Amino acid sequence: MNNSLSIEEIFNLVRDTLNRAGSSSHQSEAVADTISRAERDGSVSHGLFRLPGYFASLKSGKVNPNPNPNLSQITKAVLKCDGDRSYAPLVHKKFLNNLVNVSKDIGVGILSINRVAHFASLWPETEILAENGLVGIACTSYMPAVAPFGASKKLYGTNPISFAWPRKNENPIVFDMATSSLALGDVQIAARDGHDLPIGTGIDKNGNDTTDPKKILEGMLLPFGGYKGSHFAMMIEFLAGPLVGETTSFITKENNINDGGPPLGGQFIMALAPEIISDLNDWDKNAEPFIEKLSSFDGVRIPGKRRHDNRNNIEKVEVNSELLNKIYSLK
């Protein structure tokens, strides 16, 4: 089997697979764009690895095969979207541009999203905002997989957050990370490949430290960075849950169709216009010397740079053969 695929072949594979499960082409292409961009950038855990989960959520009826997400403008700064049980990338494709316009007009905009299934990274949405000259912040909460600091019961999702800082003539600075010690996808990949994980990544179902990813999957992850990371995980429960009119992770789980994928839920996306908030046309003059300094330090990784570098050099992606077989056999 040829498991070396071009980005276009990955796009087509995703689109055709989701179409086969009944999705509208419009929705399939939005997801295909997100997955192929992840593979292009070397983000394996959010690439094709997710496709069987997407497929299952169409088959289970959780995700609407032919959704029609709609947008309402609540105020000059706040947009609200009912996702109509779509995949989040469809909402982004349709409405991120509205958020850009609101934010450029009034300095800040919020896109408050309900009823979407978010299986992807968050950088695709914040990166687009930054490419439009805006600061992007996005977060979402998943089903409980993480114990609050000090506890040995799950309550928080892996609750990722992404932040993007725009630059006038360079790629934006973008980070996107789980507030758990590790993303759930990475634990799943470690379990699949039989790799141990460091102590502190998670605990088993009885609350004991373990290095075995399978025991962590049966048990729970820990937040990154002790009580401080736990506070950020909690913050994201509030922002991507009650603030946007959705439940928090543990209630979301109770309402979820248990098909293995993420539940339907909310997303909080915010854009900030530095030109307006700083009241300076040359707002970047205060940021560029800092980025230059940070880049000059030995041992420092500029967030987003590896993805941008991968992107520039990519021709073909080697896809795990077992995964590819699984995708071909999905029905």
Q: Does 119 bind a copy of itself (CB under 8 A)?
A: no
Question: Least distance to a copy of itself from the beta carbon of 128, Å?
Answer: 18
| Strand arrangement, sheet containing 70-73 | 70-73, 78-87, 108-117, 264-272, 135-140, 161-165, 173-177
Q: Does 290 bind a copy of itself (CB under 8 A)?
A: yes
Distance, in Å, from the CA atom of 263 to the CA atom of 116, rounded to the nearest integer, reads 8
Q: Does 80 bind a copy of itself (CB under 8 A)?
A: yes
Q: Does 251 bind a copy of itself (CB under 8 A)?
A: yes
Distance, in Å, from the CA atom of 18 to the CA atom of 280, rounded to the nearest integer, reads 46
Within 111-158, residue ranges assigned H as helices are 123-131
Q: What's the token pair of residue 230?
A: 């736990």
186 labelled catalytic: yes
Question: Least distance to a copy of itself from the beta carbon of 152, Å?
Answer: 8
Q: Does 206 bind a copy of itself (CB under 8 A)?
A: no
**What percent of the residues of the chain are helix, what percent strand, and what percent coil, each to the nearest 5?**
45, 20, 35
Give just the sign of the alpha carbon dihedral 245, 250, 251, 252: positive
Question: Least distance to a copy of itself from the beta carbon of 256, Å?
Answer: 15
Q: Does 71 bind a copy of itself (CB under 8 A)?
A: no
Angle at Cα 92 formed by Cα 87 and Cα 98, nearest 5°?
A: 145
Of residues 20 and 228, the one with the C-beta less far from a copy of itself: 228
Distance, in Å, from the CA atom of 170 to the CA atom of 130, rounded to the nearest integer, reads 11
Region of 26-34, 46-54, 107-115, 313-321 interacting with a copy of itself (CB under 8 A):
107-115
Q: Which of residues 220-249 bind a copy of itself (CB under 8 A)?
A: 224-229, 231-232, 234-235, 237-239, 241-248
Q: What are the φ/ψ torsions at residue 81 (nearest 5 degrees)? A: -125, 125
Question: Least distance to a copy of itself from the beta carbon of 113, Å?
Answer: 11
Of residues 89 and 148, the one with the C-beta less far from a copy of itself: 148
Q: Which of residues 133-192 bind a copy of itself (CB under 8 A)?
A: 135, 148-153, 155, 163, 165, 173, 175, 177, 179
Question: Least distance to a copy of itself from the beta carbon of 219, Å?
Answer: 15
Q: Which of 69, 74, 59 is nearest to 96 (CA)?
A: 69
Q: Does 16 bind a copy of itself (CB under 8 A)?
A: no
Of residues 9 and 275, the one with the C-beta less far from a copy of itself: 275
Size of the site for a copy of itself (CB under 8 A): 71
Distance, in Å, from the CA atom of 232 to the CA atom of 242, rounded to the nearest integer, reads 15
The catalytic residue among 23, 28, 46, 86 is 46
Angle at Cα 242 formed by Cα 200 and Cα 58, nearest 5°?
A: 80
Region of 18-26, 91-99, 213-221, 267-275 interacting with a copy of itself (CB under 8 A):
267-275
Q: Does 297 bind a copy of itself (CB under 8 A)?
A: yes
118 labelled catalytic: no
Strands (E), 102-222: 108-117, 135-140, 161-165, 173-177, 202-203, 220-221
Distance, in Å, from the CA atom of 269 to the CA atom of 22, rounded to the nearest integer, reads 29
Q: Does 42 bind a copy of itself (CB under 8 A)?
A: no
- Among 274, 307, 317, 319, interactor with a copy of itself by CB under 8 A: 274
Beta bridge partners of 264: 117
Residues tagged active-site: 45-46, 186
